[in-house]
Structure 1
Amino acid sequence: MVKKHTSPYYPDIPLFLVLIPFISGFNYYLTYTNVQFNWWFVFTYTLDTLTGYVAWLGARKVILWLDHKMPYVDGFIKRVTIQFLLTTIVGLFIISFLTELSSLIVKGKWAHPSFYSHDLFIISIWFFVINAIYIMIHYYYKWQGTEEKVKSEKEKLNTGILAKEGKMEVRVPFSNILGFSVEKDYVAVFTNTGKQYFLDSTLEKISSKLPEKLFFRLNRQYVVNRNTITGFQRRENGKLSVTLTDNPSIPQEIMVSRTKAPTFKRWFRNLD
């Protein structure tokens, strides 16, 4: 199983805690001439590093917010473009504000104009690096999760589902199952062999044990096999009408709610 961490981008926090002091040192070398190791160097370097931490945390907050509001799956180019622009704007604003504030406190005057014409340009380049690191971490976890999911799906495909046939308990292969439907206190299992089984369980519990690539829960009453679906049509209010193969066991048309419609379309198009 993939190990769960507090941060969805682990190990970003320890990584940037180490990386930002190096970035500050590199920027210091590019920004200042005739650098001397004295109290002023220690003071300004420490101040730049602390400012860098605050700017990174601001950019990180933007990325986490975008994960909820604009996930990568909704459009990679759009997400990356907006992420880069927002993180850069937020980060540079934080750095500019703290630099001006510290300049007023320490020197009693505004920051030198070269800060905006030279320093901020160098700093903005680092936001490319920050965003690239977060994007790589995101897709690494996505790839890792996909590997685990594929392994889990293969294991599920090999198991099938246990059902009762009279006094016997039989294993029904998933490839033989057309779908499931709620029938009063039981869940009916329809197969391509014409046999029908009843399970003493809830549709929700059964759904959690099914291979996600093969089955989809269309609504509260039906779960169907991908191979029984011939297509779908858009209906009013964002709903979908899913068309199934002609079979007396299940309806030829089942409605999908507006909230489930986007998930169904991604599943049907193999985008998840």
Structure 2
Amino acid sequence: MALSFFRQGKQDVSEAQELLFKWPYIGLITFSITTLNFLITYNLRSATFQYVYFYIIDLVTTYLIIRFYSYGIRILNRKAPVHGDFAKRVTYQFTLHTLSVVIFSILINEFLDHLFFKGERLSLSFQFYTQDTVLAVVFTLLFHCLYLGLYLLSVKKPPQEEGIKKIKVFQGMAHKLVDLNKIICIYTSLGNTYVVDGHYNRFVSEKTLGEFEELVSERFFRANRQFLVTMTIIDSYKSAGNGKIEIFLNANSIGDLNKSIYVSRSKASSFRLWLKRG
């Protein structure tokens, strides 16, 4: 979780655990859960060709439930980010999120049962509510553990910036190597990307802001489409209209560096959390 459980610019999507909801991983997970559930639920010794039909419907059901699970994760990432109050996030995920996924599981199973089997396969059956629903709870809790476990593994990785890592920049016609640890701001202006070091020297870089976002760690915050900032360059900030935050920069002698920039409403909470972590 470098910058911002599905980073803000990429909507928290580049995280390791977000791969759970992307192909081919989501397909593998859907197949594995469906197959395991099928083996637990049915006596395959008396299987008929109709069981193939059952299995296909179960595959669709499991996929829809996982998609609903990922939708809930996106909501949690906005309301209770995993990189913020971790205990609060775990509580919400293991209670409200689990309950919503189980309810959705029941509703989608009932709907598909009535749609394809006229309610004669699962609907209101004792076995469904005592076995399949319990399995849904177990699989949901295991998925929570996997998701949060991947997050904890990712945050244990050493920040990329801690070592001496230099990038090539241009100062006039000359090439220069600048240590990433000494950069305090990266921004774009008129189609060019500029990096500013701790002495407020400005250099031109061939890299895009998105490429820099991949290189830097939590010392930087993606304030908007034009700016990656560190706390060093921030002089002060205040709340602005519509939930935005206005950041005042130590622009010094850099003429085209804005004296203030805005953080959008959607990123305001992440910005405050970033300040707390710093």
Common fold by TM > 0.5: yes
Asked if residue 212 in structure 1 is aligned to residue 217 in structure 2, the reply is: yes
1:134 corresponding residue in structure 2: 143
Amino acid at match of 2:136: F
Give the number of equivalent residue pairs.
Answer: 248
Asked if the contact 2:187/2:209 (under 8 Å) is kept, the reply is no
Determine the C-alpha separation between the residues in 2 that align with 1:270 and 1:204: 23
- The structure with higher relative contact order (CA 8 Å, sep 6+) is 2
Asked if residue 85 in structure 1 is aligned to residue 111 in structure 2, the reply is: no
Question: Superposition pairs for residues 170-249 of structure 1, below 5 Å?
Answer: 170-182=176-188, 186-194=192-200, 196-199=201-204, 201=206, 204=209, 207-208=212-213, 210-229=215-234, 232-244=237-249, 247-249=252-254
Query: Root-mean-square deviation (CA), in Å?
Result: 4.4
Shift of 1:240: 0.3
Amino acid at match of 2:106: L
Shift of 1:20: 1.1
User: What does the per-residue CA deviation read over 1:188-241, in whole Å, with 9 as the maximum and x for residues that have no partner?
Assistant: 4433335x2331547525634641322234345543223333653221111102
Shift of 1:100: 11
Deviates more, 1:167-176 or 1:89-98: 89-98
SS for the counterpart of 1:241 is strand
Asked if the contact 2:169/2:175 (under 8 Å) is kept, the reply is yes
- Residue 101 to residue 143, structure 1, CA distance change in 2 (3 Å): same
Structure ID, larger Rg: 1
Asked if the contact 1:232/1:240 (under 8 Å) is kept, the reply is yes
Q: Provide structure 1 residue ranges, at least 5 long, that are not aligned to the other structure.
A: 29-36
Amino acid at match of 2:167: I
Determine the C-alpha separation between the residues in 2 that align with 1:197 and 1:68: 37
TM (norm. structure 2) is: 0.65
1:162 corresponding residue in structure 2: 168
Shift of 1:128: 1.5
1:34 corresponding residue in structure 2: none
TM (norm. structure 1) is: 0.66
- Residue 197 to residue 128, structure 1, CA distance change in 2 (3 Å): same
User: What does the per-residue CA deviation read over 1:122-176, in whole Å, with 9 as the maximum and x for residues that have no partner?
Assistant: 33221211102222332344345546xx45x426852233233455422122232
Amino acid at match of 1:204: L
Deviates more, 1:244-253 or 1:256-265: 244-253
Q: Provide structure 2 residue ranges, at least 5 long, that are not aligned to the other structure.
A: 1-15, 83-88
Asked if the contact 2:169/2:206 (under 8 Å) is kept, the reply is no
Asked if the contact 1:163/1:197 (under 8 Å) is kept, the reply is no
1:267 corresponding residue in structure 2: 274
- Residue 80 to residue 243, structure 1, CA distance change in 2 (3 Å): farther
Asked if the contact 2:243/2:265 (under 8 Å) is kept, the reply is yes
Shift of 1:256: 2.1
Give the one of 56, 73, 85 matched to 2:81: 73
2:40 corresponding residue in structure 1: 23
Amino acid at match of 1:265: R
Identity rate of aligned residues, in percent? 15
Asked if the contact 1:242/1:256 (under 8 Å) is kept, the reply is yes
- Residue 99 to residue 47, structure 1, CA distance change in 2 (3 Å): farther
